[in-house]
Each structure stands twice: as structure tokens, then as C-alpha cells.
Amino acid sequence: MRPYDEALAQLLNDVGSVATASNATESVSLLDAVSRVLAEDICSPNNVPPKDNSAMDGYALRLNEANEQGQWQVVATRLAGDASALTVGPGEAVRIMTGAEVPDGADTVIMQEEIIRDGDSISLASEQGVSAHKVAENIRPVGNDIKEGRVIVAKGTRIDASHLGLIASVGINTVSVYRRPVVAVISTGDELIEPGQPLPAGSIYNSNRYFLLPMLEKLGCEIIDYGTLKDDQALFERVFKEASEKADFVITTGGVSVGDADYVKPVLDALGNIDFWKVAIKPGKPFACGRLSKDDTQKAGYLLGLPGNPVSAIVTFMLLARPAIQQFSGQAAEPLAFLPGRVTQDVRKRPGRMDFQRAHYVMGEDGRLKVTPFNSQSSGVLSSIAESNCFMVLDREQGSLEAGAKVKILPFREWL
């Protein structure tokens, strides 16, 4: 059995990346860029904010230059969006609203709650007078958020809503992204029926297709959905070949073990250079991968053959297929973000495989994370994924654990 880290490293080495290919980028408008991978560093063409502006509703003035009466005369009002020429002299103040540009000459904004206004004269409410304030208070300086020229979102970032907001804030509305990976999805099995149909004796509903498609969508993939294939060697051969000519990845589920109806292996042997791995993870052992062509010079899809069992399929997808597709998409490497936690109960485990137990973590009263494994770790129980928020990850050589032991937590809900 292959250790997980080794299997993943080899897979990543095999699949490569669109980032190194020519013609792999396209220009898209900002709202179409979500879930895509940036093919360029986004540098800010300007400062944000572009000018000093007020953080409060109040008065802009020269703090240490009141008139002889210790007051300032209100000479104008400035609303957000108003950029007309305006200068504040000694003993003068401008009524200013949040977000409005600080007029020339003013060095401080006093919030209105700290001002006493009498007609057009204002004075400071505090008994300590000027010493209760600081020059420059309540002014958001130019470039405080973003300095002109700074990289605000780096090449290789998968763009989310926060990146869109940030890119918009510097005035950019078009970005260069890598093309989407094309992924063919094929379910296999005579026993599979689509939900919505009556269930004949001996059949089960196809569930794998229904989590794979949205997870691929989230990875920004263009999907070719081949539905379900009956276990028929000639059919597999024809469809796998067609899919490999159209797609960057061909993802199959089922048929990778050695049951009588598992035709995937002979077909793959005939079509390409496919490795069959027993990865030392639980759940999810059998996994097939490799190029669906015998000729290295020929462009052909890369097969990711997931186990049929839904829990094994989703776990191998998350741990092997997902990072492979991310890397191929041009996304910068993203190591698994483990959190430290303590298990709430005794856990049985035999050394030999890396265990990804479905579990639920919360913060305990002591501020530390505590994690409780789902009551069934059977690889047939898909609700173990739906009702959990993380894997409790137990290393390969780890044996049984007692309640309170330190464990690694791997949150997974954002992948779903």
C-alpha cells in the first residue's frame, strides 16, 4: 500500500498544470471571474483611499490653530463625493461627513459628539481642550488600505468574493484567468438508477454523480457529464476513449476493485498507462490514475478512477482528485490546513493506514477545539460526511487513542 503523501506527490507530478501551457489564459469580466484562477498578479493602479478622508461625521480643522476665543469658525460643509477646491485656514473649520475628502489645510477631524456648536462657532467639548485630541485623528490617510503599485491579489489565487471586492476597489473590471479544466464524469455500475426513478429490485440510486458535479463546479471546472454506464467492456472502451479526447481529466467511479464486473481495469490497460494503487488511507483504498493514451505525445485526458463506494469516492476525491485538479488549474499549492484538537472519546485504530474519520469539531469552554467522531465510520454511510464538518486525521502508524488525546482536524465543508 502506498502512503498518502507519496501517492499525492506522484499524482501532482503526473498531472502538470495549465499555467505552463501556451494559450491557457483568457480575459474575463470581474463578475465572471469567481472560482477561476488568476493568471496575473493584480497590482493596484492607485491608492485606496485615493485622498485623505474623514472616518467620522464631524469637523475638519487645524487642531492647534483655534482663534483668540479658542474657537473655530465653520466656513463650509463637505459631503462625501464633493471634491471642489476648499482650504481650511487658521481658526476655520469645515463640517465634514464620513468618507468625504479632508479639505486642504485641515490636519484633524473632531467627531461631532466632541464638539459644542454655537451658531457658526465651534469649540471642543472636553475640559482638557486640545490636549484631549491628537493631530490627524479620524483621518483615513491616502493609501491606508492599498498603496499604488502593490500586488493586491497574486497570480495563482482562486478568486472568491473578497478578491472580487478588492479588485473592484482599485477600479479594475477585467482580469486574466487560466482556462477552465475540462472534466468528464462517468459513473459505472449495472445497479445504478438515477434519483426520481422507481427503484427496481437489486438496484441503488447513483449518489456519486450528485456530489462530484457540484464539487467540480466549485473548482471552476467545465464538466462533461456522461451519466451512468452499464458494466460493459466495449461500452467502457468507447466512452472512455471519447471522454479522454475531449477532457483534461476523466473521473470515473466504481469498477476499480477486482469484482467480476469490474471492467475498468482491462479497458484502462488497453487504452493507456494506468496505475492501480492501494492508497494507505481509510476510507478509500482502491484508486486508479494515469494518462488515457499509450502515446505520450498525444494529448489525452488523465484518468482519476475513484472507488464506487460513495464515502470512499468522496474521500479520495477530496484528498487526491481535488488537489490534482487545483494544481492543473494553475492554483498555487495549498497544503492541508490542519487544526489542533482533542478527541472527546476513546478511539479504536489499528496502525497501517492513515485514517480520515468523519467528525464534528466545536470550540470547548477552555477555548480549545474538541472533536467527536461520527458514530458510524462505515465506508457505506454517506450521512457520515453530510453530518460532519471535518476529518479527524490519524497518522498511519497511530494506534488507538484515549479520550483527551491530541488529534489533527481537517475541516472540509468549504470543499463541498
With beta carbons less than 8 A apart as the criterion, state whether 64 and 113 touch.
no
DSSP 318: I
* Assigned C-alpha cell, 126: 472636553
- Residue 309 near ligand AMP by CB under 6 A: yes
DSSP 274: E
Which of 44, 54, 138, 206: binder of ligand AMP (CB under 6 A)? 206
Which of 35, 257, 273, 372: binder of ligand AMP (CB under 6 A)? 257
User: Could you tell me which stretch among 61-69, 147-155, 164-172, 303-311 binds ligand AMP (CB under 6 A)?
Assistant: 303-311
Which of 204/339 has CB closer to ligand AMP?
204
The angle formed by the CA atoms of residues 44, 50 and 53, to the nearest 5 degrees, is: 145
> From the CB of 225, what's the least distance to ligand AMP, in Å?
13
User: Could you tell me which stretch among 24-32, 118-126, 252-260, 317-325 binds ligand AMP (CB under 6 A)?
Assistant: 252-260
* Assigned C-alpha cell, 329: 488549474
Which of 260/397 has CB closer to Mg ion?
260
User: Could you tell me which stretch among 15-23, 86-94, 162-170, 307-315 binds ligand AMP (CB under 6 A)?
Assistant: 307-315
Which of 236/361 has CB closer to Mg ion?
236
Provide the b/e sequence for 13-33 (b: ≥16 CB within 10 Å).
eebebbbeeeeebeeeebeeb
> From the CB of 292, what's the least distance to ligand AMP, in Å?
19
DSSP string, 111-140: EGGGEEEETTEEEE-STTGGGGS-TTTTEE
Cβ neighbours of residue 35 under 8 Å, at least 6 residues apart?
158, 159, 160, 217, 218, 219, 220
Which of 40/191 has CB closer to ligand AMP?
191
Q: Which of 2, 12, 1 is nearest to 335 (CA)?
A: 12
Which of 153/192 has CB closer to ligand AMP?
192
Which of 34/193 has CB closer to ligand AMP?
193
Provide the b/e sequence for 167-203 (b: ≥16 CB within 10 Å).
beebebeebebbbbbbbbbbbbbebbeeeeeeeeeee
With beta carbons less than 8 A apart as the criterion, state whether 329 and 20 touch.
no
156 C-beta neighbours (distance < 10 Å), count? 21
> From the CB of 269, what's the least distance to ligand AMP, in Å?
17
- Residue 191 near ligand AMP by CB under 6 A: yes
The angle formed by the CA atoms of residues 74, 77 and 79, to the nearest 5 degrees, is: 155
- Residue 310 near ligand AMP by CB under 6 A: yes
Which of 48/314 has CB closer to ligand AMP?
314
- Residue 189 near ligand AMP by CB under 6 A: yes
Could you give the string, one character per residue 153-192, with x where binding to Mg ion holds by CB under 5 A and - elsewhere? ------------------------------------x---
User: Could you tell me which stretch among 94-102, 159-167, 202-210, 253-261 binds Mg ion (CB under 5 A)?
Assistant: 253-261
Could you say which residues in the range 25-54 bind ligand AMP, by CB under 6 A?
none
- Residue 204 near ligand AMP by CB under 6 A: yes
With beta carbons less than 8 A apart as the criterion, state whether 219 and 329 touch.
yes
> What is the three-class DSSP state of 362?
strand
Residue nearest to ligand AMP (CB): 308
- Residue 73 near ligand AMP by CB under 6 A: no
| HEC string for 186-230 | EEECCCEECCCCCCCCCCEECCHHHHHHHHHHHCCCEEEEEEEEC
DSSP 142: T
How far apart are the C-alpha atoms of 254 and 192, rounded to whole Å? Answer: 11
How many residues make contact with ligand AMP (CB under 6 A)? 19
Which of 143/308 has CB closer to ligand AMP?
308
- Cα–Cα distances (Å) from 200 to 197, 203, 262, 309, 380, in that order, read 9, 6, 21, 20, 20
Which of 220, 254, 284, 323: binder of Mg ion (CB under 5 A)? 254
User: Could you tell me which stretch among 18-26, 165-173, 205-213, 329-337 binds ligand AMP (CB under 6 A)?
Assistant: 205-213
Would you tell me which residues interact with ligand AMP (CB under 6 A)? 187, 189, 191-192, 204, 206-209, 253-257, 259, 307-310
Would you tell me which residues interact with Mg ion (CB under 5 A)? 189, 254-255, 308
